[in-house]
Amino acid sequence: MRRLPAVLGILTASLLLTVALPTSSQAATGRFDYTGTNGVPSVIFNPPNGPCIGFNRPAVGVDNQTDTGATLYTGLACSGITEFVPARTGLTWGTYRPNSVRFG
């Protein structure tokens, strides 16, 4: 019976830490700009981390002004050849044409 208060104290402390500690971000903060092969710019604001996001058309350049790195893919469903774009970085390409992106 002496152990019961100690066990309850540990469980309570664990619960409080779980509730009090911040969780990982569910979205990148900032904007992700890309320019399609037709020259038209597009923007994604505060994109979610994890899901694949397809572009309207293949991109010739991107500007990742979010706080999260982005992985670009040549395929529409985040497949194919990849290129990583760190946070606060922009890139343009000669022949590489990404069609989708995933953050986080």
Q: Which residues lie closer than 8 Å to 73 by C-beta, 6 or more apart?
A: 52, 79, 80, 81, 82, 98, 99, 100, 101, 102
pLDDT digits (tens, 9 = 90+) for 31-90: 999 999 999 999 999 999 999 999 999 999 999 999 999 999 999 999 999 999 999 999
State the pLDDT confidence band at 2, using cuts at 50, 70 and 90.
low
Buried/exposed code over 23-50 (b: 16+ C-beta within 10 A; e: otherwise)? eeeebbebebebbbeeeeeeebeebebe
Q: pTM higher than 0.85 for the full model?
A: no
Distance from chain centroid for Cα 34: 15
